[in-house]
Amino acid sequence: MPSKPLPSKPLPSKPLPSNPSPAKASPAKLGIYHVLLPTDIPTLPLNEFAGSVLEGLSERPKRLSSRYLYDDRGSGLFRQIMTLEEYYPTRCEAEIIEAHGPAIAARFAGTPVNLVDLGAGDGAKTVRLLHQLQAAGADVTYVPIDISEQALRTACETLAGELPGLPVKGLVAEYIAALHWLTANDDGRVNLVLFLGSNIGNFNRAQARTFLRQLWSALNPGDYVLTGFDLKKDIDLLLAAYNDAKGVTAAFNMNLLNRINRELGGHFDLDKFRHYSTYDVFTGAMESYLVSMEKQTVAIDTLHSNFHFDAWEPIHTEYSYKYLESDIRSLADSTGFAIADTLHDSKRWFADSLWRVVKTISGGGVAL
Ligand code: AVJ
């Protein structure tokens, strides 16, 4: 647990940052206990980022979630990473879409299809696929989904600029919730869900299964998912991709501490931490850390806490799991999908795997 605040720093009188307060309602009176409804609870004690930082820095080993890497600065640094010589995944996947996109698109000739984009990231690949679908004669609607309204607006505007006249139906929501909404308001269109860029790599094996099962549940039989997997390869190539010579990846990782300083009144001195990325051959994960180079105590005002670091103590920040072809097959198998096609770049460093949702009729066992 974090220690008490320094005596020299009195508690601020301001309340902790909280989520928007829902309407007040008095709890149902049931004598000796109350059933509290969500609307009975005025506020959550901490916002999501603050709560996650408090929890993670209280763990041993300490950790911070990679989902918070992508504030405005972090997103900018990631766009820079995508242009780096050492960061091969973006180039490999662009090559795959360029070479094999038309074959994917041909499956949807004459079909009304929603191109559903989970985490647009590099809009360029999505634009290529949309062009290819239109060229194949698919009746395509673009459906980007993002939890951030700002990010969604940017994605919609970029696409509208590139493909004037393209129907766009953006959804601001969590991915799975948005997909449930989309299929519940079914307009008879086939959904082709994009989960590109090796974003699945941030999940461990169990989390990846959970996420894909949730996707499967939310989708209709006959819908498709196109997922980008970074493949296992020469370890030196992996290490270089996460330890680039210009230090952009280091700055991207370090930005987490910057973000805590900016948003939570943190007092991290970035010169006292270093970026470290390593590969675990056994789990197949690139692992990223921020390592404290000396013994130090860091206050985070908003959390009313000090965090102690020993010399060379790490904070875990990110996993990027790498896959074997057999891992991809077993993942599809165990989550209810049939692999329609797996496409590779010429070096076979990366794969985009196209999966079809298979659901059996209850009682019958007939695959759709
Ligand atoms: C955006 C999660 C696919 O794990 O390769 C790049 C993020 N981290 N360099 C990845 C990242 C360090 C990237 N993903």
pLDDT band, very low/low/confident/very high, at 131 (cuts 50, 70, 90): very high
Residues 130 and 208 in one domain: yes
Query: Which pLDDT does position 12 carry in this prediction?
Result: 45
**Span 322-346, average pLDDT:** 98
**Span 344-357, average pLDDT:** 98
77 lines ligand 1 (CB under 6 A): no
What percent of the chain lies above the pLDDT cut of 70? 89
Least confident span in 32-36, 101-105, 362-366? 362-366
Residue that finishes a domain, picked among 321, 337, 354: 321
242 lines ligand 1 (CB under 6 A): yes
Residues 198 and 338 in one domain: yes
Which residues neighbour 312 within 8 Å (Cβ) at sequence distance 6 or greater? 291, 292, 293
Residues 222 and 329 in one domain: yes
pLDDT band, very low/low/confident/very high, at 3 (cuts 50, 70, 90): very low
286 Cα nearest atom in ligand 1: 4
Query: Which pLDDT does position 367 carry in this prediction?
Result: 61
**Span 175-199, average pLDDT:** 94
Distance between Cα 259 and ligand 1 center (Å): 18
Count other Cβ atoms within 10 Å, centred on residue 326. 8
54 lines ligand 1 (CB under 6 A): no
Alpha carbon distance 9, 267 (integer Å): 13
CATH code, domain with 333: 3.40.50.150
pLDDT tens digits, residue range 300-327?
999 999 999 999 999 999 999 999 999 9
Among 151, 166, 164, residue whose Cα is nearest residue 121: 151
pTM of the model: 0.89
For the chain, how many structural domains are there in total?
2
pLDDT band, very low/low/confident/very high, at 10 (cuts 50, 70, 90): very low
Alpha carbon distance 175, 67 (integer Å): 14
HSE (side-chain half, CA atoms, 13 Å) at 342: 19
Domain carrying residue 102:
88-233+324-367
Residues 99 and 70 in one domain: no
Of all protein residues, the one whose alpha carbon is nearest to atom 10 of ligand 1 is 320
197 Cα nearest atom in ligand 1: 3
Find out whether 349 and 326 touch, Cβ atoms under 8 Å.
Answer: no
Of all protein residues, the one whose alpha carbon is nearest to atom 2 of ligand 1 is 199
Residues 176 and 278 in one domain: no
CA pseudo-torsion sign 82, 86, 87, 90: positive
201 lines ligand 1 (CB under 6 A): yes
Find out whether 284 and 322 touch, Cβ atoms under 8 Å.
Answer: yes
318 lines ligand 1 (CB under 6 A): yes
Distance between Cα 332 and ligand 1 center (Å): 22
Across the chain, mean pLDDT equals 91
Radius of gyration of the chain (CA): 23
Distance between Cα 40 and ligand 1 center (Å): 40
Best probe residue, ligand 1, of 85, 122, 198, 287 (max atoms within 8 Å of C-beta): 198
198 lines ligand 1 (CB under 6 A): yes
Query: Which pLDDT does position 4 carry in this prediction?
Result: 45
